[in-house]
Amino acid sequence: MKKGIKTLLAVGLSVGAIASLAACKDKNEGSTNTSKITINFGGSTSVEKIAKALTASFATECPRFEAVHNHTGSGDAYKRTQGGEKAGANKLDIGFLSRELKADTEQASAGTSGLICKDGIVAVVNNTNSISNLTKKYGETVVFSNLNYTFENTCIYGLVGRNGAGKTTLLNILSNYDKNYTGVISIDGEKMNKVDYLDMPVAYLVIECGVV
């Protein structure tokens, strides 16, 4: 399983464009200024669909806003915002990375980068899924100690935390991929240590994202 972060490198927006977006009229109020404010997005392809959905939603609130997406990979995010191609035909205003910036070759200007999230995990569960007295260790390091939880019916749960907090470990246990623990995990009322993980009626998606 891949681990890491996604980073968003936001650079290159002109002061005029930022001011225009900030002053964008509510869509129901109307405006005499109909000139488009175009912002170029790119970089990591793994966040392309999310980026497009977000910009489409924002465009309904600010009709003057126009997003242009050209996602060609994390390697182009820094290069086309602050690197050697920042003034080229493919320049970007906002770039996404599926990793951290390289300290030696991708040094973002102060205030132009930030972290969105690390190892964000989403699981859809039902109320017959429960955790009882779960304890998990890596050597002498205790990840969970006598953890108990019963999931509410038809809820979507998000696990957010720093690297090493145990998010991926918990999902590996819930999906029965990791059986090296003590306690009882029940999925649909059945104890998971008695089921092969390949036969599990459970799947999960790890979304690793962040901002530069």
pLDDT by residue, tens only, the chain of 212 residues: 333 444 455 444 444 555 556 656 555 555 566 778 889 999 888 778 878 888 888 888 788 889 999 999 988 999 999 999 999 999 999 888 878 888 899 988 888 887 765 555 555 555 567 889 999 998 888 999 999 988 776 667 777 777 678 888 888 787 777 888 999 887 767 777 666 655 555 555 554 444 43
Fill in the amino acid letter for 137: K
- What span, in angstroms and rounded, lies between the C-alpha atoms of 112 and 114? 7
Give the H or E element holding residue 55. Answer: helix 48-61
Task: State the DSSP code for 177.
Answer: S
Q: How much is the pLDDT for 41?
A: 92
Strand arrangement of the beta sheet that strand 94-97 belongs to: 65-70, 37-43, 94-97, 5-10, 113-118
Task: Determine which helix (DSSP H) or strand (DSSP E) holds 21, and give its type and residue range.
Answer: helix 15-22
Exposure of 210 in the CB half-sphere (CA atoms within 13 A): 22
Q: Considering only the C-alpha atoms of the chain, give the largest distance between any 2 of them, rounded to a whole number of Å.
A: 67
d(CA 96, CA 209): 9
Instruction: Calculate the alpha carbon distances from 161 to 27, 116, 118, 185 in Å.
Output: 37, 12, 7, 22
CB 128 within 8 Å of CB 49: no
CA distance 178 to 190: 16
The confidence score (pLDDT) of residue 31 equals 58
What's the confidence (pLDDT) of residue 101? 85
Q: Kindly report the pTM of this predicted structure.
A: 0.52
Helix (H) or strand (E) holding 70: strand 65-70
Amino acid 44: pLDDT: 86
pLDDT of amino acid 210: 42
